[in-house]
Structure 1
Amino acid sequence: MRIAFYGSSLLSSCWNGAATYYRGMIRALSEVGYRTTFYEPDIYGRQQNRDIDPPEWCDVVVYQPNMEDLRAVTSKAADADIVVKASGVGYEDDALFGLLLQAAHPAALTIFWDVDAPATLAGLAADRDLPLHRHLAETALVLTYGGGDPVVYSYRGFGVKDCVPIYNALDPSTHHPVAADPRFAADLSLLANRLPDRETRVDDFFFRPAAEMPDKRFLLGGSGWDDKPMPENVSRAGHVGTRDHNAFNASATAVLNVSRDSMAANGFSPATRVFEAAGAGACLITDQWAGLDLFLREDVEVLVARDGKDVVEHLRHLDPAKARVIGERARARVLREHTYSRRAVQFDELVRGHLKRRRMEAAE
């Protein structure tokens, strides 16, 4: 089946944390019979900061951020069996969604794929006049990359016909153990873009422990931190492209995950970096959120911190040997249960079920 997928970017992870999720899902879907064309706008300098070239398992169309190009690329949705509009594309999202719903073939399955469901739902609740309300009413299916039952129930409360989480996962062909790289050596590393709804939590879980442990080395990767005051024992790595994610994760004693405010409050929202770090065999310290035990077991496959004090305690008692054991257990768990190949099977079963029901309803 043919998928027309309209998202932020497949080619670049620059200001685009969903890149590896898109890549993992679309690559795995190609292995079960789907052919995807990914449409992405040329914005935020992403095309100048590509992590990958257009892959053989997906066609990529880059369009300019103007209405003429937007109309041209949305017209291509008419040729697809499945039309996907992701959240947070970044250029005229409302107009994009409306044009896609107009262009999609009546027999096509239309999907809204939300990669930041807690934030999207907060916006829907705050403004009943958002165009997204109207667009969702015309959409057959909502998929999210996290959120669990709280997100499902909230979407149904807005009249969505069906909502299913398809969680982040691991692509073992791209995220796997590698040799340590001196560039990324540290006692604790964090890879996260600077965002308003995460910065306070980063202050608590990362900068506070760094200030309290001047004898430890801390490494911060991600965009937007250049003017952020920070302790002297924190080094900046800047934007870390996906080519270096394995080395980044494999070179520190521990790797930290800090959720955005809405995802921490909602729970059931493991970020891509959770599975990427586990795939590289890293010892992960994550902030606490509901549903973590569905993915990794506390104190066995992951270390959990309620606040910065807990991060300090973990680092005081963590040595390379213990960290290695935790990382190996985490990697074994995600390889068993949380790969994109498994997520692709879930997607395939879901889509085929929807299309079968639609054919049966049309025949009645």
Structure 2
Amino acid sequence: LRLGARRAHTLHFAADPDLFFPTGATQDVDVFFYAYGSEKREAAIQRMVAQPSRDLSARFVVGGARLAVDLGRADFVGPVPTSRLRHWAGRSRLNLNIVRRPHAVFSGSSCMRLFELAAMACCIVSNPIAGIEEWLEPGREVVVAPEAEPAAGRYRDLLADPGRRREIGEAARRRVLEEHTYRHRARTLISHLGKPVHR
């Protein structure tokens, strides 16, 4: 608005449910994280991947590239194309969403991965994100791992409770289908475009 725009609206990321949906795969991975680039989230990756992979006798798998950070005992599988993301996410009991710090602290700064994992009915554990409750309800549709406590304890509890993981994943998928598909975003955009501009 300072640059002269008469109106400003936010259009968040979403997911395409025709591309991202539950796979029904056998879950043989405990914790999965996928990302391109570790910059500005090194501390969160250390806290949510490297350290708990050493603390737990669980199978951690990491996919992606440009991850110049300690991954602990996690198995690194390299770049994962979008066509293979469902394969790994579906095989994993827990899927991590680790957002870069500038996005995590700026309220309402959404990330694509959160919606994609939710659309696949994954049980998501996320680092704290300002405004995450706008999209998914913490504790019911997503699990938020506070920075002040070790992530391993939260993982251990969830890995021991498949029913709770399933409930969280199914609730997250319902929320995406109800509010966070690209059809919803398109309707929002069209609605904004149809509003009169007051000079």
Q: Same fold (TM over 0.5)?
A: yes
Matching residue of 1:298: 138
Note closer, same or farther for the CA distance 1:346–1:256 as it changes in structure 2 (3 Å cut): same
Matching residue of 1:202: 45
Matching residue of 1:39: none
Instruction: Tell me, yes or no, if the aligned pair for 1:168 and 1:272 is still in contact at 8 Å.
Output: yes
Structure 2 residue 131 is the aligned partner of structure 1 residue 288:
no
Matching residue of 1:276: 116
Structure with more helix by fraction: 1
Matching residue of 1:221: 63
Note closer, same or farther for the CA distance 1:242–1:265 as it changes in structure 2 (3 Å cut): same
Matching residue of 1:180: 25
Larger radius of gyration: 1
Letter in 1 for 2:172: A
Matching residue of 1:84: none
Structure 2 residue 173 is the aligned partner of structure 1 residue 338:
no
Give how far 1:158 is off: 5.0
Matching residue of 1:249: 89
Matching residue of 2:11: 166
Summarize deviations over 1:117-167 as a string: whole Å, max 9, x none.
Answer: xxxxxxxxxxxxxxxxxxxxxxxxxxxxxxxxxxxxxxx345544321111
Letter in 2 for 1:197: K
Give how far 1:230 is off: 3.2
Instruction: Tell me, yes or no, if the aligned pair for 2:38 and 2:69 is still in contact at 8 Å.
Output: no
Q: 1:104-183 residue pairs with structure 2 within 5 A?
A: 156-157=1-2, 159-180=4-25
Give how far 1:235 is off: 0.6
Structure 2 residue 158 is the aligned partner of structure 1 residue 321:
no
Structure 2 CA distance for aligned equivalents of residues 320 and 266 of structure 1: 33
Where in structure 1 do 4 or more consecutive aligned residues deviate above 6 Å?
Answer: none
Give how far 1:335 is off: 0.6
Instruction: Tell me, yes or no, if the aligned pair for 1:181 and 1:248 is still in contact at 8 Å.
Output: no
Partner SS state of residue 21, structure 2: coil
Structure 1 CA distance for aligned equivalents of residues 54 and 6 of structure 2: 49
Structure 2 CA distance for aligned equivalents of residues 204 and 210 of structure 1: 10
Give how far 1:249 is off: 1.6
Give how far 1:201 is off: 2.0
The percent of aligned pairs where both chains have the same amino acid is 27
Partner SS state of residue 36, structure 2: coil
Greater relative contact order (Cα < 8 A, sep 6+): 2
Structure 2 CA distance for aligned equivalents of residues 350 and 323 of structure 1: 37
Match of 1:230 among 57, 71, 84: 71
Structure 2 CA distance for aligned equivalents of residues 299 and 268 of structure 1: 19
TM-score, structure 2 as length reference: 0.89
Note closer, same or farther for the CA distance 1:298–1:230 as it changes in structure 2 (3 Å cut): closer
Structure 2 CA distance for aligned equivalents of residues 314 and 285 of structure 1: 9
Letter in 1 for 2:50: F
Q: How many residues align?
A: 197
Summarize deviations over 1:269-299 as a string: whole Å, max 9, x none.
Answer: 2311111111111000011122111111111
Give how far 1:219 is off: 0.9
TM-score, structure 1 as length reference: 0.50
Give how far 1:237 is off: 1.8
Instruction: Tell me, yes or no, if the aligned pair for 2:46 and 2:70 is still in contact at 8 Å.
Output: no
Structure 1 CA distance for aligned equivalents of residues 19 and 30 of structure 2: 24
Q: 1:72-111 residue pairs with structure 2 within 5 A?
A: none
Give how far 1:328 is off: 0.6
Structure 2 CA distance for aligned equivalents of residues 259 and 238 of structure 1: 19
Matching residue of 1:191: 34
Instruction: Tell me, yes or no, if the aligned pair for 1:206 and 1:308 is still in contact at 8 Å.
Output: no
